Structure 1
């Protein structure tokens, strides 16, 4: 009972803070002269999300990678939230390292007294040299857990309320919110993240041109992860790459995503620009394995079957995969009509390039079809969708002519062979 009261009070305090920051920002934007109002509004939004931190900052990072959804002005303003958030103090960083690693080399704590090379929603990253080797030291922010816990409680409450609306009753909002909350809160567990980073590195070792930094296990502790430092990572450096290099890098990113989705079943659901770097020679570097979700064998198999149907333009196969994955079918559901509508949706999407295919609209229509035909969708599918949506943002920016679906073919086939369904 006492714990529930504490969480409730924390949520109430969080809600008050949201209003206290958002209202003055809206007033300042409204008072700005018309020609600068859009830019000022975008900057105020970024500032509010930065000060709120937690899940609000996470949402800003995701939206900053999707100018096609929020517009270039807002995406530019939110872009700095990827890795340029106001950092923790040097004293906080040094204290965290010394508490987590009492016997660590002094160079580690000394590096944290300098400004970080990157600063995100959960942690700051510092560059150090230990034994002649350059390493990146990721240090968890103090107090970030409280803000995230309050945000997740607000998210679950909002999802529960929205789920009572008649047109959302068959959308598993409460389950989706609970799964997302669990995954986001899992980012606070740095031991799990270090293990995820090692698995991700092994999973993608066979994808040419994809780099995942190696963990230095003896320099990891509670709230601290140390890994090899990858030189030359700079979001602004993408502009200096040739068009061919950007296209090759994005193609490799898409292949890495498909290997995760269809073959390994471990999904990086946080592929914003602060965690994905396109580099010289057409390579791509993936960082931060805090928001990596392991799909169940069943969810991976059904998702792979669905995508395999899309590649072939086989709407009936897609419909069967969806029907096999749903949590529940209400009495009176018209499954024949559902199959026909899915087939029509797939047919409209077949053979389209990234520039022609609207993935967000496709996902929304897919969920709406399941709702309208009295099917309760599989909430686990939200993680592959998040991964694809983030990757699609990079594709639209740098390689809009890429055939997003056909690139999936060899990985979907491999995934089906592994599951015994090919």
Structure 2
């Protein structure tokens, strides 16, 4: 997986110009993985509640871009991306840039072409604040359809529409993704799934 991530993110396996870093594997057996030693780095957990908002944003932007690249461009996703598996490497230099280091890439996956298209269509509907369409897409493309009537499908889509609108309204009032409780929004969507 590390080799594939490196080829997806670096030209000619050269990470020197990138602010995203995947360790280079040297030897791998079922029990042992030898890879680059990461020095001068701090776990991302140290920065989650850091008082410097500008620094948190500078660290979050490349993480978000990397994740979106994995999902939408490469269709090969690191499935264990939590703050303990991400390091901030302090490179210093004239501009003092920090590199993001991804660890523990043993769990990765790809979506089928159809699932990737479904995700892109859903993502597009949410970004365009078309929550009703997002809800309809979920119903129409679900592997196991539970809405037994058109009225239930419409009610589900309307519920998703309200959640998406609420999310966009909160963002337009100047709230950031960090202050919007994504977990709460997803929980509400799952509650709708249980009802319908």
Q: TM-score, normalised by structure 2?
A: 0.77
- Correspondence 1:372 to 2:191: no
1:168-187 CA-to-partner distances (Å, cap 9, x unmatched) read xxxxxxxxxxxxxxxxxxxx
- Correspondence 1:337 to 2:148: no
Q: How many Å separate the matches in 2 of 1:372 and 1:308?
A: 25
Task: Provide the residue aligned with 1:286 in structure 2.
Answer: 102
Q: How many residues align?
A: 176
Shift in CA distance, 326/197, structure 1 to aligned 2, threshold 3 Å: same
Shift in CA distance, 208/301, structure 1 to aligned 2, threshold 3 Å: farther
1:117-173 CA-to-partner distances (Å, cap 9, x unmatched) read xxxxxxxxxxxxxxxxxxxxxxxxxxxxxxxxxxxxxxxxxxxxxxxxxxxxxxxxx
Q: Which runs of 4+ in 1 moved over 4 A?
A: 236-243
Q: How many Å separate the matches in 1 of 2:66 and 2:190?
A: 26
Task: Provide the residue aligned with 1:269 in structure 2.
Answer: 79
Deviation at 1:345, TM superposition (A): 1.0
- Correspondence 1:220 to 2:20: no
1:29-67 CA-to-partner distances (Å, cap 9, x unmatched) read xxxxxxxxxxxxxxxxxxxxxxxxxxxxxxxxxxxxxxx
Q: How many Å separate the matches in 2 of 1:290 and 1:241?
A: 32
Contact kept, 8 Å, 1:268 with 1:289, in 2: the verdict is yes
Deviation at 1:338, TM superposition (A): 1.6
Secondary structure, counterpart of 1:329 in structure 2: coil
Deviation at 1:264, TM superposition (A): 1.9
Contact kept, 8 Å, 1:319 with 1:338, in 2: the verdict is yes
Contact kept, 8 Å, 1:309 with 1:315, in 2: the verdict is yes
Richer in helix (by share): 1
- Correspondence 1:324 to 2:137: no
Structure 1 regions of 5+ residues with no counterpart?
A: 1-195, 374-422
1:205-236 CA-to-partner distances (Å, cap 9, x unmatched) read 389511111222xx222211112222212338
Deviation at 1:202, TM superposition (A): 2.2
Deviation at 1:249, TM superposition (A): 1.8
- Correspondence 1:200 to 2:10: no
Contact kept, 8 Å, 1:269 with 1:293, in 2: the verdict is yes
Contact kept, 8 Å, 1:214 with 1:227, in 2: the verdict is yes
Give the superposed CA RMSD: 2.7
Please show how residues 226-241 of structure 1 align to structure 2 within 5 Å: 226-235=34-43, 238=46
Structure 2 regions of 5+ residues with no counterpart?
A: 12-16, 91-96
Q: TM-score, normalised by structure 1?
A: 0.38
Q: How many Å separate the matches in 1 of 2:80 and 2:166?
A: 29
Contact kept, 8 Å, 1:338 with 1:369, in 2: the verdict is yes
Q: How many Å separate the matches in 1 of 2:35 and 2:136?
A: 43
- Correspondence 1:252 to 2:69: no
Secondary structure, counterpart of 1:234 in structure 2: strand
CA radius of gyration, larger in: 1
